Amino acid sequence: MNDTISDFLDYIILEKGLTDNTRSSYTFDLECFNNYFRNMNIKDINKQDLLDYLKYLKETKKLSSRSIERHLTTLRGFYKYLKKMNIINEDITTNIDNLKLEKHLPSVLEPEEIDKLMDIKLNNPFNIRTKAMLELMYSSGLRVSELVNLTINDIDLYNNIIIVNGKGRKERIVPIGEIAKESLSNYLSCRNVLLKKKNGNPQELFLNNHGQAITRNGFNYLLNNVLKEKGIEKKVSPHTLRHSFATHMLDNGADLRTIQELLGHSDIVTTRIYTHISKKQIQENYDKFENRGEK
């Protein structure tokens, strides 16, 4: 089965335009699948075998419903490929209902918390860079991978836009807010200070203290430092800024289609989760108001 899986992974990269990160996710899922069915031919695996495998992921591997759903999505793509290549006669993933996912609404920061997070002293090039990254991520709703992969040429401050290469290498144009634009201008004016002669002249926009392109882990480290410094104890990840951007856009009257385009979602169903977050926040704010009235 190893060769078939390898061929499939090559196929999704070439034909579907998926990123290396997505390939890594698919590889992990299919390695788990291959290890479980190690002694079986792919043609001999039936639907009940697949259901037993999903049960194994839940009860033995203790995976969450969301993780199991991701495995199933990978297998659907794999079996669709197998059927297309005439390797199997039946796609056993059809008519398997989607698992009922545990509803975990993504956390968001309140506008006041965003203000607190962005209140960074601009006393050195590193702080100027950190503020520019945070402001741009929140202002434009970027994924952390999109942020760290931005190049100098992707920025157009004259027209207030950036060119973003998203999932599946899909390109989209996203506007830059005025505050983010100012922070970016400040950073660009001192970016040369971060350059190191031995590293040449990297085209990536954001650089670390070694003059190299900052990584996802590097950004996580910076974000956690700022959170600690500001005393923000809420669980915050880089994606929280993206969620906060979308939720605040919705709260301020933006329609779902606009938010979908800005976030680069291929399906508006993915974007609809922010309507649930917004409703949840309205209820929480109402409850706080009611509680104040009782004091």
Please say whether the structural domain 111-294 has been given the CATH code 1.10.443.10. Answer: yes
Say how many C-beta atoms besides its own lie within 10 A of residue 216's C-beta: 15
Classified as helix, coil or strand, 106 is coil
In the set 170, 239, 257, 280, the catalytic residue is 239
Could you give the angle at the alpha carbon of 237 between the alpha carbons of 232 and 241, nearest 5°? 85
Where do we find the tokens 């506007």? 175
Long-range contacts, stretch 274-278, CB < 8 angstroms, 24+ apart: 274/243, 274/246, 274/247, 274/250, 275/250, 276/105, 277/105, 277/106, 277/108, 277/243, 277/247, 278/247, 278/250, 278/251
- Please report the DSSP string for 14-61 in residue order: HHH---HHHHHHHHHHHHHHHHHTTTS-GGG--HHHHHHHHHHHHHTS
Is 274 catalytic? The answer is yes
pLDDT of residue 11: 84
Where do we find the tokens 């992921």? 57
Is 11 catalytic? The answer is no
Is 239 catalytic? The answer is yes
In the set 167, 172, 216, 230, the catalytic residue is 167
Say how many C-beta atoms besides its own lie within 10 A of residue 251's C-beta: 15
Task: With residue 261 as reference, give the H or E element that holds it.
Answer: helix 256-263
In the set 26, 53, 187, 274, the catalytic residue is 274
If we measure between CA atoms, which residue out of 54, 100, 50 comes closest to residue 79? 50
**Residue limits of CATH 1.10.443.10 in the chain:** 111-294
User: pTM higher than 0.75 for the full model?
Assistant: no
In the set 71, 129, 131, 143, the catalytic residue is 143
Where do we find the tokens 């200070």? 193
Determine the topology of domain 2-84 in CATH: DNA polymerase; domain 1 (1.10.150)
User: Mean pLDDT by 10-residue block, N- to C-terminus, for the chain (295 residues)?
Assistant: 83 73 84 88 89 88 84 91 92 75 67 95 96 96 93 95 85 93 96 78 90 92 94 88 90 86 80 68 51 48
Classified as helix, coil or strand, 173 is strand
- Please report the DSSP string for 125-148 in residue order: HHHHHHHHHHHHHHHHT--HHHHH
